[in-house]
Chain A
């Protein structure tokens, strides 16, 4: 599980100082990048900034971070560090290649499994390179961040109740989409792949629609629209 480290109190304070001094572009990358993506930390910074900007008496003198000759890390990076990193990388690749190729010239004796009747497939910890097909197939199941976001949207739920399919479950064909909508509204059902390519767009009734043709394996998203506006988003998987 990846743990997100929010800005700590000092980093929040530094950002608030940066706003006061109009020096946001001189903040360390980690602080800038995290705040750009984190709603919570943005709010924390602005909350503090609201207070400090109201102080009648401003501190006299230089700021310990923004008014020094300290090298600030920019997006471009310090040239010398970049050159050093490149040289290190080249040396590292060279050493690694040398070791690999030297090992190939003098192959080690094959170590037999303790149980000589075992086949390669049965040996533990033998990994096989995944085939291209399986890689492509796996890609069909990767969630789309945008569509996942859309699913989490709180649509005007009083408009209709979705009865099927259950969100995120495996689908079987024929696949029934069922909802309890307003009989006066016209609906459009759209189904998309996980890469947001539309595979179906059809005008449907106020109660539901049945998809009879099977879809290729993958993760799919569906959107129900009325009057051009989305009223529900969901997903299902075809295996």
Chain B
């Protein structure tokens, strides 16, 4: 369903102005989006989806494809997201599709490729700041599971629990049980991962009123950790987060110390 087509006032906002251009002058619209297309292609190079020497060619392809898709965008754009975000998503998909035709999909770890992909963040501090920001955004994406993910990240990485950590997941659980659970899991960094889940399982079963074996809980936590790493690494991957180095971001989340953090 397209938003009502009417000419916007001269003091309109950018999205309205771009929407008018979509109908009146699509070439001018695409000219405005060139920066976005460059970032999309640079990310594709950084991830090895596209070779550096193919930059110009794929840049041309993205522009031509987007021009061809203007009628479809006019029909399908429903006016909820920003038009530029929607067009960026389409450009990402164009890039993915054509990169497979142009080149063999292989990972490039050349410094130039990585630098190019990260040319907007040339210092370590900026890169860390980006990682921190992406990690917090990734957590948002878990929606209603977020509180549970945070609790299990604490158990997985052996970070002391708080009453709120548990209450957020089990709002109707008795306070005594929560207090006992929290008291058990303070300063337990030296315990082995599987021992932690063996000790946590009885509490989790009572709190959640379910019967699960420790391996189930450990597996759930590990799956979420892997999922977070995949999200941060991207597809194609531009980073190399593992369960081990993800710990830094998790610890920072609960007690900010990295650049770019500072609030929970």
Docked pose: A229 CA to B214 CA in angstroms: 10
Q: With a CB–CB cut-off of 8 A, which chain A residues contact B168?
A: none
Docked pose: A54 CA to B195 CA in angstroms: 42
A36 touches B144 (CB 8 A): yes
Q: With a CB–CB cut-off of 8 A, which chain B residues contact A223?
A: 213, 215
A52 in complex: contacting residue of B3, B85, B90, CB < 8 Å: B85
Highest count of chain A CB atoms <10 Å: which of B141, B198, B213, B232:
B141
Shortest CB-to-CB span from A63 to chain B, Å, is 7
Q: With a CB–CB cut-off of 8 A, which chain A residues contact B39?
A: 51, 54-55
B118 to chain A: closest residue by CB: A54
Q: With a CB–CB cut-off of 8 A, which chain B residues contact A52?
A: 36, 84-85, 88
Docked pose: A62 CA to B231 CA in angstroms: 29
A9 in complex: contacting residue of B90, B215, B219, CB < 8 Å: B90
Docked pose: A182 CA to B135 CA in angstroms: 41
A62 touches B13 (CB 8 A): yes
B81 touches A149 (CB 8 A): no
Docked pose: A64 CA to B86 CA in angstroms: 13
Stretch at the interface among A42-50, A88-96, A172-180: A42-50
Interface: A39 (CB within 8 A): yes
> When A24-B140, A46-B231, A147-B216 are in contact, do A10 and B77 touch as well, CB less than 8 Å?
yes
A150 touches B14 (CB 8 A): no
Q: List B194-231 residues whose CB lies under 8 Å from chain A.
A: 194-195, 198, 211-213, 215-216, 219-220, 223, 227, 230-231
> When A32-B144, A55-B36 are in contact, do A9 and B220 touch as well, CB less than 8 Å?
no
Q: List A179-235 residues whose CB lies under 8 Å from chain B.
A: 192, 195-198, 223, 228-230, 233
Binary CB contact string for chain B from 80 to 101 against chain A (1 if under 8 A, 0 otherwise): 1110111011101100000000
Q: List A1-47 residues whose CB lies under 8 Å from chain B.
A: 9-10, 12-17, 19, 24, 32-33, 35-37, 39, 42-43, 45-47
Q: With a CB–CB cut-off of 8 A, which chain A residues contact B13?
A: 59-62
Where chain A touches its partner, the secondary structure class is helix
Tally of chain A residues near chain B (CB < 8 A) = 53
A10 touches B137 (CB 8 A): no
B211 touches A43 (CB 8 A): no
Docked pose: A14 CA to B86 CA in angstroms: 8
Interface: A56 (CB within 8 A): yes
B143 touches A33 (CB 8 A): yes
A150 touches B219 (CB 8 A): yes
Task: Determine the interface band of chain B, counting residues with CB < 8 A from chain A.
Answer: 35 or more
Shortest CB-to-CB span from A43 to chain B, Å, is 6
Q: With a CB–CB cut-off of 8 A, which chain B residues contact A65?
A: 79-81
Docked pose: A112 CA to B89 CA in angstroms: 64
Docked pose: A229 CA to B133 CA in angstroms: 35
B212 touches A10 (CB 8 A): no
Interface: A53 (CB within 8 A): yes
Docked pose: A57 CA to B84 CA in angstroms: 12
B14 touches A59 (CB 8 A): yes
Interface: A122 (CB within 8 A): no
Q: With a CB–CB cut-off of 8 A, which chain B residues contact A42?
A: 138, 141-142, 227, 231
Q: With a CB–CB cut-off of 8 A, which chain A residues contact B212?
A: 146, 196
Q: With a CB–CB cut-off of 8 A, which chain A residues contact B138?
A: 42, 46
Shortest CB-to-CB span from A28 to chain B, Å, is 9
Docked pose: A198 CA to B216 CA in angstroms: 14
Binary CB contact string for chain A from 120 to 160 against chain B (1 if under 8 A, 0 otherwise): 00000000000000000000000000110110010000000
Docked pose: A50 CA to B239 CA in angstroms: 12
Docked pose: A50 CA to B215 CA in angstroms: 34
> When A52-B88, A223-B215 are in contact, do A46 and B81 touch as well, CB less than 8 Å?
no
B137 in complex: contacting residue of A46, A63, A228, CB < 8 Å: A46
Shortest CB-to-CB span from A61 to chain B, Å, is 2
13 intermolecular pairs with C-beta atoms under 8 Å apart: A15-B141, A19-B140, A32-B144, A36-B145, A42-B227, A43-B234, A46-B134, A46-B232, A54-B39, A55-B39, A60-B13, A64-B79, A223-B215
Residues of B within 8 A of A (CB): 3, 12-16, 18, 35-36, 39-40, 43, 76-82, 84-86, 88-90, 92-93, 120, 133-134, 137-138, 140-146, 194-195, 198, 211-213, 215-216, 219-220, 223, 227, 230-232, 234-235
